[in-house]
Every structure is written in C-alpha cells, then in structure tokens.
Amino acid sequence: MSHEYEKVDVPENGEPITLAEGSDDEIDVPENPIVPIIHGDGIGQDVAPAAQRVLEAAADATGRSIAWMRLYAGESARERYDENLPEDTVRAIDEHRVAIKGPLTTPVGSGFRSLNVALRQTLDFYANVRPTFYLQGVPSPMKAPEEMDMVTFRENTEDVYAGIEWEQGTEEVEQVREFVEEEMGFDETMHDGPIGIGLKPISETGSKRLVRKAIDYALEHDREKVTLVHKGNIMKFTEGQFGTWGMEVAEEEYPDEEVFAAPDSLWETEDEVDIPEDAVMVEERLADAMLQWIQLRTDEFDVLAMPNLNGDYISDAAGAQIGGLGIAPGANFGDGRLLAEPVHGSAPKRAGQDMANPTAMILSGRMMLEYLGWTDAADLVRDAVEETISGGKVTYDLERQLEGVEKVSTSEFADEIVDTVERLS
C-alpha cells in the first residue's frame, strides 16, 4: 500500500483495513480504521457531513473510532484536479477497501459517463446491495409498510449498464446495423432511419458470483428465500441464462440441506414447495410480475438477485413502499471490499440549504459498520434513526406529509440522532 497520493491527506490517527491473511474476501479491521469518504455533488455537501457525525458517534459509543480520509469525485474533483474521477480517488478506495460516498451527478443524455457506474466497474464492486425495511414514523403509501423487509442484490458490472452502445447518425452505428441485418439475418428487426444500438452482455461469471453472494448473505443472516428475478421469457439468452446460471449455483455449489433449488418456480403454481427444514429456497420469478408481487405479497419475498437494469427498477420500487429513496440505503460489494452509497440522487436544487434528509446516507453508513463487523454500532444507528423519526423530529420531506411533527434541518436532525445514540449506549 503506497499511502502516497497527489492531493489527498492520509490521516495519521488511523490504520488501514487489509485483507485477512490467506483470504481474498475477508477483511482485517483495526479499532481505528481509515475510511475514505466522498461527500459528492448537490446535497452530498449536506448529508455526508451529517452521516459522518452519526457514524462517529456510534463508533465512539462502542469503543472505536473512524479516521476519515476525504476523497474527491464529480464537481469537487473538477475543481481540485480538473477531471471527474482522479486516480487518487480510485487508488485510495482500492487500497483502503472500505469507503462511503454521497450522490454524484450524471447529466442525462450528454454522453458523460456515470461516475457511480465507473467506480463500480473500475474497482469491480459487482454486487449492489439494497436492504429495504420500514422505520416507524415514516409516511408510506402502503397499508402495511412494515411487511417490507427485503434485500436486493443487483449485478453491477454488465447488462445495458456496460455502456456498449453506438449513437444514431454515426458511421459505427451503421456498421453495427449492417452486421445485424445482413450478416446475422435480423433484416426485419430494426426500423429504417436514425437508430441507436446497444449491446446487453450477461455472463456466466457475472451472474454466478452475484447469485452466490446473495445465497451466502441469506445463509449468514437466516433469510429463508432467494428469488432470482429476470425477464427470461423474452430475453432468453441473456436474462433467461442469468436464471439458468443462478439455479446451477444453487443446485451444484451448496449441500441440499442448506440450499434447495425450487423446481418449476418461474411460473405461479398452487402447489406448496416442500423444502428441507432450515434450508434456503432459491426460486425464479419474472421481473414484470415481481413489480406487482412486491406490493401484493410483500411478506413472501426475502432476498432478491437480478441483472443490473431490473435491479435498478425493482429496488427503487421497493424503496417507494417504505417511504421513498430519501431513506433507502445501499452499498456496493466486491471481494473483500465495500463502497457504501445512498440510493437517491444529488438533488442540486436543494444543495447547500441544510434541509435534505440524510437518513439514506446514514443508513448506508450503517451497512458499512455491519461490514466492518461492528454490529453493535450498526444497531445503535438504526435504533437512533428510527427513534428520532418516530419521536417527531424530521426533515422537510417527511414533515410535509405528517401532522404533529417538528421540522428540523439536516444538521439538527443529525444532532438529534447523535444525542439518541449517546443516550441508547
């Protein structure tokens, strides 16, 4: 590990997180780890410092400390480095293994590559994990939002997010069109005139390691079921193959008494599946059907694993059921590494106003604490956030939907949570 960066200061009061000896996936965590943090764009400048304070309080309350290492991406990197994603940032996250970031802005339709996707692909954070659970006091459009307790595993490196596409009007797109129509025989597939074309790669490697990660999570956290979600009835050789490869993992890599691959689970049946006691069941469901099942049969689903685009849609839809993306946490997992980040965007019109809800960023940090093995600190964070909201101290986005509550700023909300952490500990 170099510890030498062009424009990044390495804190002297912390120690680096390293891989455990003899492992390529387990980490060795000191009591005072160095944790890189990117505040991000827009409201990142408000919610990231608020999350830092809460996470620091939880670490301190459990006899530990966090040595923050400030990194830069997006607007802050352009000001400091004149580029969006400097080598300093990529290398520091790579070398220190566990990091957290706020939202980064990607302009729509500009050809500007998503920095979020770039970080995930460059450092091989191949599993985007989003736990969706209800916090008491949060307004929800659902009659029984407390039934939602679901964790989505979204493949993070391929599918349409791989960025293999050609712009309309270019020589390259016409070459692809000619190849597809004339060489491959799909001469009636595409309309005449301007067209954009993209490729959708889904691989055995990407699919199996994602499903393996989801099954391992279910086993470690006493979850009952893993549902593979895809649109394989239409995209048979990409999404359909994801389902096939995923079921192969369940059938071939785990003992029968641990993991049971449910036969003929793609379509709804009236028959109950008889699985071994305490085994995790792995099943398949179609993506379009899942968008209704997560509302109509919320409590029947547990851990979901799916290709990239489906994971984006379905995790957002699940987040809406428990109050919206403002409180939805997430983290990107690789082998022996994690990058926590909230699900929501940068909301530039609210930037710097000390009014944005930092809950999603705080709960993303809670996932980071769990990954460090600090489950006591992670539990403190969740309990303190829930108690603060249910106690009637909320930011503007929740206050406008509730009666009899007090509207507080981002920083005041963090103050309340920190006070609660200290009291609960």
How far apart, in whole angstroms, are the C-alpha atoms of residue 331 and residue 420?
25
pLDDT at 108: 52
> Is the pLDDT at 3 greater than 70, yes or no?
no
List the binding residues for Mg(2+): 312
Structure-model confidence comparison of residues 375 and 268, the more confident one:
375
pLDDT band of 189, cuts 50, 70, 90: confident
**CATH numbers and ranges of domains, the chain:** 1-139+327-425 (3.40.718.10), 141-159+202-321 (3.40.718.10), 165-198 (no CATH)
Indicate the pLDDT class of residue 107, thresholds 50, 70 and 90: low
Among 1-10, 58-67, 107-116, 247-256, the minimum mean pLDDT is found in 107-116
Residues with a known catalytic role = 161, 231, 288, 312
- On whether the CB atoms of residues 346 and 42 are closer than 8 A, the answer is yes
Task: Identify the pLDDT of residue 1.
Answer: 55
Rounded average pLDDT over 98-120: 76
137: left (phi over 0), alpha (psi -120 to 50) or beta: left
Surface-to-core class of residue 40, CB atoms within 10 Å of its CB (0-12 exposed, 13-18 middle, 19+ buried): buried
Q: How far is the C-alpha of 214 from the C-alpha of 155, rounded, in Å? A: 10
Where is pLDDT greater, at 174 or 276? 174
d(CA 384, CA 379): 8
Chain-wide mean pLDDT for the chain? 92
What would the DSSP string read from start to end of 179-241? IIIIISS-TTSS-SSS--EE-----HHHHHHHHHHHHHHHHHTT--EEEEEE-TTTSTTTHHH
pLDDT at 270 over 50: no
Question: Which amino acids are annotated as binding site for NADP(+), given as ranges?
Answer: 105, 357, 396, 400
Cα gap 386→398, rounded to integer Å: 13
271-282 average pLDDT score: 81
Q: How far apart (Å, rounded) are the C-alpha atoms in residues 156 and 291? A: 20
- Does pLDDT of 46 surpass 70? yes
Return the biggest CA–CA distance within the chain: 71
Residue 194 pLDDT > 90? yes
Cite the annotated binding site by residue number: 105, 114, 116, 120, 130, 154, 312, 357, 396, 400
The answer to whether the beta carbons of residues 51 and 329 sit under 8 Å apart is: no
Per-residue pLDDT reduced to its tens digit, 306-324: 999 999 999 999 999 999 8
- C-alpha to C-alpha distance for 106 and 113, rounded to whole angstroms: 7
Distance (Å, rounded) from C-alpha 57 to C-alpha 48?
A: 14
Q: What is the pLDDT of residues 198-249, one digit of tens each?
A: 999 999 999 999 999 999 999 999 999 999 999 999 999 999 999 999 999 9
Mean pLDDT of 324-337: 93
Binding-site residue ranges for D-threo-isocitrate:
114, 116, 120, 130, 154
DSSP secondary structure letters along 344-399: S---GGGTTSS-S--HHHHHHHHHHHHHTT-HHHHHHHHHHHHHHHHTTEE-HHHH
Asked if pLDDT for residue 267 goes beyond 70, the answer is: no
Cβ proximity of 420 and 387 under 8 Å: yes
Given this model, what pLDDT does residue 113 score?
A: 61
Show the tokens assigned to 202.
């889904």
Return d(Cα 131, Cα 238) in angstroms, integer.
26
Q: Please give the share of the chain, as a percent, with pLDDT higher than 70.
A: 96
Tell me which residue has tokens 């490697």.
205
